[in-house]
Structure 1
Amino acid sequence: MLRTSLAWTLVLASGLSCERATAAQPAASSDVGVSAAAVDPVAAADTPAASPFAGLRAPDPEHASLTGTVVERLSAGRYTYLQIDVDGVGRWVATTGEGASVGQLVRVRSFGSRRDFESPRLGRRFDELVFGSVVLAEHPVASPTSPTPTQKT
């Protein structure tokens, strides 16, 4: 009986020492045990490869805001593509929702742009496509210091 107890004690002790050694060593495989500190939260964002925002370049200061007249409008699902005449130069803008109608003066706040953008839904490639919000330029956003139509000045 003493011999059996001693044998079980040795088996359990050797098992515990193996667990401690394994826990102290980092995982050898890159598939297992990825530390949260090793994961870049921006790179790990759930952005599908087909997302139009993948690879978006931040706008340079001179193109952060564009104002021009809509000369062409294309609908593609939840996106609207607008060609805007900005000082005689056609610029393509993608926005969500309805966008604006041809002939309307609009202001675009750019979120960024992509070069050589391919729209599978439209079956069309754009040399440069600006992504942004579009508002009618005839209706400027009132600043807090501007009087509203109901206020008397």
Structure 2
Amino acid sequence: MWKLWPYSGRPTEPERSPAATYFESVPEMVKYMVEDVAGTGRNITMDRYFTSVPLTEDLLADRLTIVGTCNKRRQLLPKELTEASGREVDSSIFCFRNDVTLVSQCTKPGRLVLAVSTQHRAPLVDSRTKKPEIGPLTDQGPLTD
């Protein structure tokens, strides 16, 4: 762990809050958290609350790679990745944009897990587990709700 920032709720008077205790947006908070390692080539692992394609591209421009799950309701995600209807269980769909790789895996009927990575550039799927080789995908807990 590099930096910790406790969230104690939205302040009643944000303009009077101490510096770095209130952020207007999630990307602003993430950029604050990683500012000390920007430009170092390190990897940032995030969960679906923090991960988005624009933020991923911004951090990549700062020489930081990203691996994480992604909420299917995020903007800029192709419809083919976010709809589970008609998908076979254990099927994976990959999408590539610039240096960002997105993958959508159908883990159960009607259930998708989305992941984003700037470290992985090939559509690899483990032949034994049928999981995409992109990062920490799991069936534990609701990842796309």
TM-score normalised by the chain length of structure 1: 0.28
TM-score normalised by the chain length of structure 2: 0.29
Please state which structure has a larger fraction of its residues in strand: 1
Higher RCO (Cα < 8 Å, 6 or more apart): 2
